[in-house]
Amino acid sequence: MSAALVKALVALAAMAAVAELAAAKSHTIEWSLGGNYGDWSNGNAVSVGDTVVFTYSPTHTVHELSEADYKACIFGNAVSSDRSGSTAFTFDKAGTRYFACATGSHCAQGQKVAITVATSSSPGGQSPATPSGNGSSAASSMAGAGELAMKLALGLGVGGALLAAF
Ligand SMILES: [Cu+2]
152 in the same domain as 112: no
* Exposure string for 59-81, b = 16+ CB within 10 A, e = fewer: ebbbbbbeeebbeebbbeebeee
Query: Would the pLDDT of 147 be above 80?
Result: no
For 116-134, write each residue's pLDDT tens digit: 999 976 554 444 443 444 4
Q: pLDDT tens, 59-118?
A: 999 999 999 999 999 999 999 999 999 999 999 999 999 999 999 999 999 999 999 999
Query: What are 53's strand-pairing partners?
Result: 28, 88
Which residues hold their Cβ within 5 A of ligand 1, which is an ion? 60, 101, 103, 106, 111
Question: Does 124 map to a domain?
Answer: no
Residues 140, 107: one domain? no
Pairing of the two strands 112-118 and 46-47: parallel
Q: List the end-to-end C-alpha distance of the chain, in Å, as a whole number.
A: 19
CB atoms within 10 A of CB 143: 10
Burial class of residue 142 (count of CB atoms within 10 Å of its CB; 0-12, 13-18, 19+): exposed
Q: What's the structural domain count of the chain?
A: 2
Same structural domain, 59 and 86: yes
CA of 60 relative to ligand 1 center, distance in Å? 4
Asked if residue 143 belongs to a domain, the reply is yes
Mark whether 6 and 71 lie in a shared domain.
Answer: no
CB atoms within 10 A of CB 28: 13
Residues 57 and 87 in one domain: yes
The Å distance, Cα 6 to ligand 1 centre, comes to 55
The pLDDT score that the predictor gives to residue 160 is 46
Beta 86-90 vs 62-65: how paired, if at all? unpaired
Range of the domain at 78: 24-118
Q: Based on the domain organization, do 36 and 78 belong to the same domain?
A: yes
Query: How far, in Å, is the centroid of ligand 1 from the Cα of 64?
Result: 13
Hey, is 139 helix, strand or coil? Answer: helix
Q: Cα(37) to centroid of ligand 1, in Å?
A: 13
Dist. CA 11 → ligand 1 center (Å)? 47
